Chain A
Amino acid sequence: MALKLLPFYLGEFKKRRRKTALITFAIAWGSLSILLLMSFGRGLSTQFRVAFRGLGDNLVMLSGGQSSVVYQGLPKGRRLRLYAADIALLRATIPEIEFICAESYNNEAISANGKETNRNVHGVGPLFDLMRSQVPAAGGRFLNPDDERHSRRVAFLGWKVAENLFGAEPPVGRQIMINRTPFTVVGVLKEKMQDSMYQGPDAEQVYVPFATYAQVNSQPYVDRIHIQPRSREVSLRVEERARAVLGRKYRFDSADKYALNAWNTIRDAEEVGKIFSGIEIFLTMIGALTLLIAAVGVTNLMYALAKERTREIGIKLAMGARRRHIVTQFVLETAFIFFQGILWGVLLAFNIVSLVRTIPLNYDNFGIESYLTRPVFSLDILLLFLTIMGALVFMAGIFPAVRASRLNPVEALRYE
């Protein structure tokens, strides 16, 4: 078996390490660049999606508008309002609705802890937290169905509101006055990335049960109705059906986009998705071109290195080496070189990615760094990279090996 000579091949490889170091370095460098390119590209798009979901995932948000066309003899410019009763209607007529809840809001004077401020206070129905990505920070909770049923005076605060009123003190369990009515804080919103919003970032809002809100605020209509369709696929259909149902009830043209505003995150997500597909294709192209150059360079280096060994091969052949001894050695040497280079590249990339990910995010004012400091080095990236490198190893290794296998002893010994 040729592998019996593994110690010999390894020994020769070690002796020649100084000559192969440059190639190893080139491979490590190339691997590192490609992996970072892929990881940062993936991280960028992931962060955009995360920020996008800060508002909610797969959400259709309805709000009343003004009709812009004459319909059934009714003039345009009519104001359309949504009412709490619409929730039951929509749920009854559109089976693809998973969750649905109402939201109303108003700017109120808030005071606590000797401080005063003005904030939007939102009355929100149950399951609002699921639909609108409202995750409580540790030690607190969101409003629950019991709060709603009993119209409890409890409040859930955006983290900036909490910070504003209570500073570093824990707000959960403390009292706040909303328009001179006392509310108990039950939870604070966990910090999150959010790039789309309607009444400002969630960090700045105050949420109370919808039933409680209705008691202190006499507004007869609701500002928004949030619908979560059963799946992303039915999202546009749900929106269409809601328009039809409400159009029939309030007598407006269901095609009139101004009469009923429907903000569909799925449609937005598709737009964003296209942008990121574009960015990823662009990055992949840069990566492919870079790799191609690297591949040509490495192949060239490997070939030059192999040529340098022609005389050695001649000597070995003269001493009785079989063809397989020569070829095995070349194949193994290529494997050693690439294994080392790839290992270095992967380890470096992994560590750099891990290190960059420890940079804290500033959720209060997330700028470009929030998108760039969360690279993702995932298994599928590693596998794609290894596949590409596999092709490269083959390309760089095949020429020297084939050449070596064709050498005849006399020619090899005469080679200068």
Chain B
Amino acid sequence: MIDCRAIKKTFHMGSASLEALRGVDLLVKAGEFISIMGPSGSGKSTLMNIIGCLDTPSAGTYDLDGRAVAGMSFDQLAEVRNRKIGFVFQNFNLLPYATAAENIELPMLFNGKSARQRRRRVEELLQQVGLLEWRQHRPSELSGGQQQRIAIARALANDPPILLADEPTGNLDSQSGEEIMAIFSGLWRQGHTVIMVTHDAGVAAHSQRTVSLLDGRVVT
């Protein structure tokens, strides 16, 4: 399903350039739960962004469901992000001015779902993450754990097969972190493919297998 081969990513900052990924191979089958670990700066987020089609590799190939991502246009990538991938960030990345319900609705706005469909799905998801009574609250009125649950609900809005989470528990206390991990485990059991970046071996223990990065390379 996810097939990365010899992925390289180089960042150019003025005259200096930085090789964040130096040839990464990664194969993830549908329904797998994978954790990615590695020290800070090893390229975990960079790899996640590429898998999530937020960024494109400088070299190497990435096939998603048998289609080469390299040839896709900006809007085609947007469509992939919209339908196939749910992204959960360490810092939640919720729209600060929008309510919980409006944040969850966001991905559905970009694929032509009717207002009625959107409302029903938002309701469903709020229920699923146990925040129905918080639907009209803004992110600033929610705890970190609650915000991350809203972010997960948002990632699920279009029911994508793949969930990508970049240190989803990194900003949370251990109690909230446990709750979030329970949600991800549940989603995996329901059939989602889950790829998660973490620093925490306890968190990684929830996954089927762990990929370790060091200086932009996979180490095993």
Q: Are B109 and A5 in contact (CB under 8 A)?
A: yes
Of chain A, the residue at the smallest CB distance from B98 is A15
**8 Å CB contact of B112 from A4, A311, A315, A316:** A4
Number of A residues with CB within 8 Å of any CB on chain B: 26
Q: Given that A4-B112, A5-B109 are contacting pairs, would A320 and B78 also be in contact in the complex, using a CB cutoff of 8 Å?
A: yes
What B residues does A321 contact at CB under 8 A? 78, 109-110
- Does B35 touch A at the CB level, under 8 Å? no
A79 within 8 A of partner (CB): no
Q: Is B174 an interface residue (CB 8 A)?
A: no
In this assembly, does B217 line the interface, its C-beta being within 8 Å of a C-beta of chain A?
A: no
Q: Taking the nearest CB of chain A, how far is it from the CB of B164, in angstroms?
A: 10
The distance in angstroms between the C-alpha atoms of A8 and B49, with both chains bound, is 27
Contact with B along A308-337 (1 / 0, CB 8 A): 000110111111111111000000000000
Pick from B81-89, B180-188, B192-200 the stretch touching chain A. Answer: B81-89
CB within 8 Å of A: which residues of B? 49, 52, 54-55, 74-75, 78-79, 81-83, 87, 89, 93-95, 97-98, 102, 106-107, 109-112, 115, 154, 158
Collect the chain A residues with CB atoms within 8 Å of residue B74's CB.
322-323
Structural contact, B54 and A320, CB atoms closer than 8 A:
no
Nearest A-chain residue to B96, judged by Cβ: A312
| Separation of A408 and B94 alpha carbons in the complex (Å) | 18
- Cβ contacts A to B, 13 pairs, < 8 Å: A5-B109, A11-B102, A317-B81, A319-B82, A319-B107, A321-B78, A323-B74, A323-B75, A325-B110, A408-B55, A409-B81, A410-B54, A413-B93
Which secondary structure characterizes the binding site on chain A? helix
Whether A319 contacts B154 by the Cβ 8 Å rule is yes
* B89 proximity list for chain A (CB < 8 A): 413
* Contact residues, A5-36 vs B (CB, 8 A): 5, 7-8, 11-12, 15-16
Question: Cβ of B82 and Cβ of A410 under 8 Å apart?
Answer: no
- Closest-CB distance, B110 to chain A (whole angstroms): 5
Q: Is B78's CB under 8 angstroms from A312's CB?
A: no
B196 CB, min distance to chain A CBs, angstroms: 17
B132 to chain A, nearest CB (A): 21
Residues of A within 8 A of B97 (CB): 12, 15-16
A318, B97: Cα distance in complex, Å: 17
Q: Which residues of chain A are near B154, meaning CB under 8 Å?
A: 319
| Contact status B82-A320, CB under 8 Å | yes
Nearest B residue (CB) for A405:
B74
Min CB distance, A322 to chain B, in Å?
Answer: 5
Complex CA gap A8/B158 in Å reads 18
Q: How far is the CA of A322 from the CA of B111 in the complex (A)?
A: 10
What residues on B are CB-neighbors of A318 within 8 Å? 52, 54, 81, 87, 93
Q: Are A410 and B55 in contact (CB under 8 A)?
A: yes
Interface 0/1 of A285-321, CB less than 8 Å to B: 0000000000000000000000000011011111111
> Contact between A320 and B110 (Cβ–Cβ < 8 Å)?
yes
CA distance A298 to B115 in the complex (A): 35
For A12, list chain B residues within 8 Å (CB).
97-98
A399 to B187, CA, bound (A): 43
Shortest CB distance B214–A (Å): 22
The distance from the CB of A312 to the nearest CB of chain B, in whole angstroms, is: 6
Minimum distance in angstroms from B76 CB to a CB of chain A = 10
A311-B93 Cα distance, complex, nearest whole Å:
8
Q: Are B75 and A322 in contact (CB under 8 A)?
A: yes
Contact A322 B110 (CB under 8 A): yes
Known: A320-B83, A322-B79, A323-B74. 16 other contacts (CB 8 A): A5-B109, A8-B109, A15-B98, A16-B97, A317-B78, A319-B107, A319-B110, A320-B158, A321-B109, A322-B74, A322-B110, A323-B75, A325-B109, A408-B55, A409-B55, A410-B55
In the docked arrangement, what's the CA distance between A23 and B60, Å? 47
Residues of chain B within 8 A (CB-CB) of A409 are 54-55, 81
Given the known interface contacts A12-B97, A15-B97, A16-B97, the answer about A320 and B107 at a Cβ–Cβ threshold of 8 Å is: yes
Q: Which residue of B lies closest to A325 (CB)?
A: B110
Whether B81 pairs with A319 at a CB distance below 8 angstroms is yes
